[in-house]
Structure 1
Amino acid sequence: MFADRTDAGDRLAAELERRGTKADVVLGIPRGALPVARPVADALDADLDVVVARKLGAPNNPELAVGAVASEGSVWHNDPLIGRLGVSESYLESVEADEIENAREKADRYRETPGLPDLEGTHVVVVDDGVATGATAIACLRQVREANAARVTLAVPVGPPGSLADLEDEADEVIALRTPADFRAVGQYYRTFGQVTDEEAIEYLDHG
């Protein structure tokens, strides 16, 4: 159990240091990842920035991700889940257009220049406050890959074994402090897990 996101970040930073992980840039997934990513960036003496994606919620169940979109427009679909739920192509096209625009707007709020920082040849650590389905993380990792990073590590405090295994196909290394088989939701592993506002998240970027 983590006290809060900062505690999770401190513990994640300690594990990355123990492993000898190197990073030129740490990218947090807004908003909840920024309090986790700040201690990681400080410990690794790396710049902190953001990588933005939005999940595609299922019809009548927006919390269930049937895919995700990145702020630069790339799309990832969970095809088995889409098939199982019978999600229509027209629904996907509609929600994708909306969420790509939302992701772009969010990225613009967090940084002055459009797009990711220059990641060519860098070692990048992508941080989130936890993984559930992994949809958003996949979209973020693919953005980083397409930006020609030399090495990509995903670091999270907690996530279910199945989702983390899927993410190993997307990153060079996946590090999670806890991998409970009975995982239900990220928030159950935090004593305090309130919403992080955009304003609060941006402060973590500003106070390096």
Structure 2
Amino acid sequence: MRFRSRQEAGQELAVRMLEWASSGDLTNVTVLALPRGGVPVGVEIARAMAVPLDVLVVARIGVPDSPEVGIGAIAGDDPPVFDRTALRLLDLAVDKLGPEVARARVEVHRRELVYRGGRPEPDVRGHSVVVVDDGLVTGLTARAALRHLRRGDPLRLTLAVPVCSARTAAALRDEADDVVALHQPEQVHSVAEWYSDFPPISDEEVRDALRELHPAR
């Protein structure tokens, strides 16, 4: 089963999130999308729930000489999160990945400046936070995001995605109070295979979404 678009996936996920919101006492709900792909999904959820949308930038850490192969992720100035199994299989030592980590950290700060200008990251203390992406394969970026937000002492931390493997969803329940995934197949080889239309998202589209749905923009 495929979604026609990220927008359709967001609309379907929004129905589930409205049910989720009605089941508990939630305070100051904020939707944080992982850009770029999570933003169109997050827009639909924020609209349906009538809550603000913001972004949380997470950058992948790639294999030396093969940056398209992700072995880790980083958010803010936090320590990096690595796929330890991948490191073992590739015979890579964390202490040899300093240049890759540094490049990812620079990218995080660059994209934060592009999306927020000088506006600080949202204060999540005492808030119910919904972290949204368009789908997960390994779950590394989501794990980095959830750990980063947990340090901010949110009231409740929820991960919401249209699709991720059952194994990834189970693993991320150690990081989030709730994991909401519409589809949990045995394996997800790529997020794109779950969408009929899966275009790249531009920085301008991200900024437009924030201007519409963030009160400070």
Indicate whether the TM-score tops 0.5.
Answer: yes
CA contact (8 A) 2:132 2:161 kept: yes
| Pairing 1:40–2:41 present | no
TM-score, with structure 1 as normaliser: 0.94
Q: What amino acid does structure 2 have at the position aligned with 1:9?
A: G
| Pairing 1:121–2:126 present | yes
Alpha-carbon shift at residue 182 of structure 1 (Å): 3.8
| Pairing 1:20–2:25 present | no
Q: 1:127-182 deviations in whole A, cap 9, x for unaligned?
A: 00000111111111111111111110000000111222111111000000011114
Distance 2:196 2:74 in 1: 30
Equivalent position SS for 2:154: coil
Distance 2:117 2:65 in 1: 35
Question: Out of 138, 144, 153, which is 2:158 matched to?
Answer: 153
| Pairing 1:80–2:85 present | yes
Distance 1:78 1:147 in 2: 24
Equivalent position SS for 1:196: coil
Q: What amino acid does structure 1 have at the position aligned with 2:141?
A: T
When the two structures are aligned, how many residues end up with a matched partner?
208
Equivalent position SS for 2:97: helix
Q: Percent identity?
A: 35
| Pairing 1:108–2:113 present | yes
CA contact (8 A) 2:29 2:129 kept: yes
TM-score, with structure 2 as normaliser: 0.90
Q: 1:89-141 deviations in whole A, cap 9, x for unaligned?
A: 45411100110010111011111335421111100000000001111111111
Equivalent position SS for 1:166: helix
RMSD: 1.6
Distance 1:74 1:114 in 2: 23
Q: What amino acid does structure 1 have at the position aligned with 2:84?
A: D
Gaps of 5+ in 1: none
CA contact (8 A) 1:71 1:107 kept: no
Equivalent position SS for 2:182: strand
Aligned 1:1-208 pairs, distance under 5 A:
1-20=2-21, 22=26, 24-113=29-118, 115-208=120-213
